A and B are shown apart, each in its own frame.
Chain A
Amino acid sequence: MSAKRGALAVGTLLRREVVRFLRQKDRVLGALGSPIVFWFLIGSGLGGSFRLPAGAPAGGGSEGLSYLQYFFPGTVVLILLFTAVFSTISIIEDRREGFLQGVLVSPVSRRAIVMGKLLGGTILAFGQGLLFLLILPFVGVNFWQIDFIPVCLVLFLMSFGLTAMGFVMAWRLDSTQGFHAVMNLFLLPLWLLSGALFPPSGAPGWLQGVMRVNPLTYSIAALHRGLFHEAGAASQLPSYGISLAVNAFFAAAMFLFAVWVAERKGE
């Protein structure tokens, strides 16, 4: 009975998230549009001057990836990050004056509220990530070359983890301006140091260290593997197993963190 009620609540919150998103065209544009522009401009501009270091994850050498290709997984992650952030940023205002007020005084458990919100954000991010993959043929990757299952898995786990991370931050902040500060100071560096723009192997030692503990590094690595099959002996990419494990761990930890944060306040 209680489980059924919980599922009903999670389902309804999830659905609201998706319907709301689709009714706000500017959000669709913001989350999908700006990373694509980023990708195209940076990818095209840097393409001529960027050299991947020898033995780098991208394969290295002249037969390696073009920069537009190299930057592709990073852009996917950026799309997920933007979508996750935009879908959780609403919490800040929603809680004081908006839909969330009513949810918080309803008999639904905090765990179910968190789950509904996170799954909603996850589906949005995951969906947009998949949509972006449709561009792949234009950078010379055929769909049947993709390791579809691991790619989807990693996209889903990362969407969930990032949405949960956004949730934790939004729950504790009381202004959207604060969120932008966090975005610029924390989230974007997190993305920059994930191998999205440059491979770890060419970076100075201390940066490599940071990149090694950054969970996004493993998402990018899995996408490189899944989309471009960079798996030769020369490749320093972590294996699928490790990448997926890190992503799963990150998602689970962030979920628990989000539940903890949501249960802590008020009651």
Chain B
Amino acid sequence: MAVLLLAEVTDGALAMDATAKAVSAAKSLGDVTVLCAGASASEAAKEAATIEGVAKVLLAEDALYGHRLAEPTAALIVSLAGDYSHICAPATTDAKNIMPRVAALLDSMILTDVSAVVDADTFERPIYAGNAIQTVKSKDEKKVITFRTSTFDAAGTGGSASVEDAAKADDPALSEWIEDKVAESDRPELTSAGIVVSGGRGLGSEENFALIEKLADKLGAAVGASRAAVDSGYAPNDWQVGQTGKVVAPDLYIAVGISGAIQHLAGMKDSKVIVAINKDEEAPIFQVADYGLVGDLFELVPELTEKL
């Protein structure tokens, strides 16, 4: 059996962490061929070739693939699908956009957000915001899968797979890219950070989120937010942790002013150590926290920042 894995490539750069975690999830399914697609993707392909367990890298370099648009990228994957038994990707927003389209084109039922591989046909995935884990066995000839990266360790590097060019597929010409609004930040990326500091509605304003950022910067941490904080405009959408935002599992997760709605817990409860700071001692977040601090975050967070 053979696996085709779509690497996460953004503006020419390989997202090593997400891709290496997906490789480690896919390795047991067969020889892994990684596909790097982009307007410029050759550097990403060279890097992907070093991931342990990668047998081959396919490089599809064309302006058509420059902005991860679903229609041309899905057409490319389908054109390459050939003999692969499994077609997979890390469950990033790009892959969540592209892979179900690929699956439907192949008349296959997608398996999204897979958290464990049982065997070549059988997989575990969380449902109901992680309140249940379903084990499903696929009857489809070709399995199309996205892997929840937070539950897999990244494959190591040191490999030296060959890189081959892949022919581009026809352009469905259905969509065009206008712009990306990406916040520049020196902080680590949220889904791969060792420490995450998240703020909730308890912060009360966008300005007060500076408290969270200061604590995060002291720890070299990424910044996250609850849905309530994002909905209230305190934090940008790409900070959202939860069922419909990002799923994280850092070594340390500090939840500040977050009550702990099910939807939020779904995105962080696999963190190794959870610290909760909240004025409400009944807040559900304390039921999953290893260490709780009850009190006024506006006093406790600056004090914590100073003493760490």
Q: Do A and B belong to a common assembly? A: no
Taking Cβ atoms with an 8 Å cutoff, the residues of B that contact A are: none
